[in-house]
């Protein structure tokens, strides 16, 4: 579950310049010129619906407990591609500051009621059962639905596996 927050001016660019070096994304010698992967910062976003939730989920990512996330498929616009393996993202804290560079390692889209216990566990929010995961996510998807589509048990959910490449 993620939302976009406004990053603090200039911090994304500074973070990106540092993170891409630490993550060894700049592999071509400088005389080849800039490449698309390292020229433009990836999208910046925060987990959760508010600053407190963003900070809590970010801590789980940074300590290696949270290695997955889920989002409503309908939250992606018709012209917005789904993440795919190799997609990079800059994770913001609750104040909108960049804290981690992550890469998507796997993606699948399933109906909400087919999310499995393995994915729920990978989201890393304690010893929650699949039923607890479903209850919390049903609440989140119902409360954070800007288009007013409402929650449905068969709604498509994008399940992403993530790996931290760099953290500040």
Question: What is the per-residue pLDDT across 6-64, written as a single tens digit (0 to 9) for each?
Answer: 555 589 999 999 999 889 886 655 554 455 555 688 999 999 889 999 999 999 999 99
What percent of the chain has pLDDT above 70? 85
pTM: 0.84
Helix then strand then coil, in percent of the chain rounded to 5, is 35, 25, 40
Specify the pLDDT at position 30: 52
pLDDT value at 112 more than 90: yes
For the ranges 3-17, 107-121, 147-161, the maximum mean pLDDT occurs at 107-121
C-alpha 14: how far from its chain's center?
20
Note whether 101 and 17 are within 8 A (CB): no
What percent of the chain has pLDDT above 90? 65
pLDDT value at 126 more than 90: no
Of 97, 131, 126, the residue nearest 115 (C-alpha): 131
Specify the pLDDT at position 56: 94
Specify the pLDDT at position 68: 97
CATH number at residue 129: 3.10.400.10
Give all strands (DSSP E) within 4-153, no chain letters.
44-47, 68-72, 88-92, 98-111
Cα separation, 83 vs 89, in Å, equals: 10
SS3 assignment, position 43: coil
- Give the number of domains in the chain: 1
Residue 148: give the domain boundaries.
Answer: 2-167
Please give the structure tokens belonging to residue 53.
């939730």
Question: What is the per-residue pLDDT across 141-152, written as a single tens digit (0 to 9) for each?
Answer: 988 876 777 799
Note whether 168 and 122 are within 8 A (CB): no
**CA dist list (Å): 145 to 41, 53, 98, 148, 157:** 27, 17, 25, 5, 13
C-alpha neighbours within 13 Å on the C-beta side of residue 89: 25
Of 130, 160, 158, 161, the residue nearest 71 (C-alpha): 158
Specify the pLDDT at position 79: 84
Rounded to an integer, the average pLDDT of 97-119 is 96
Q: Which of the pair, 109 or 24, is modelled with greater confidence?
A: 109
Q: Which of the pair, 25 or 132, is modelled with greater confidence?
A: 132
């Amino acid at each position: 579950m993620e939302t976009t927050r406004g990053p603090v001016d200039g911090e994304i660019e500074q973070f990106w310049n540092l993170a891409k070096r630490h993550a060894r994304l700049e592999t071509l010698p400088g005389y080849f010129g800039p490449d698309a992967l390292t020229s433009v910062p990836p999208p910046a976003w925060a987990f959760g619906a508010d600053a407190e939730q963003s900070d809590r989920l970010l801590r789980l990512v940074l300590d290696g407990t949270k290695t997955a996330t889920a989002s409503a498929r309908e939250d992606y616009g018709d012209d917005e591609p789904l993440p795919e393996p190799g997609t990079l993202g800059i994770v913001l804290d609750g104040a909108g500051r960049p804290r981690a560079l992550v890469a998507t390692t796997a993606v699948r889209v399933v109906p909400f009621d087919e999310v499995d216990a393995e994915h729920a566990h990978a989201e890393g929010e304690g010893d929650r059962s699949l039923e607890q995961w479903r209850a919390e996510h049903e609440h989140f998807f119902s409360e954070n639905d800007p288009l007013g589509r409402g929650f449905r048990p068969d709604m498509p959910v994008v399940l992403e596996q993530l790996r931290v490449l760099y953290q500040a």
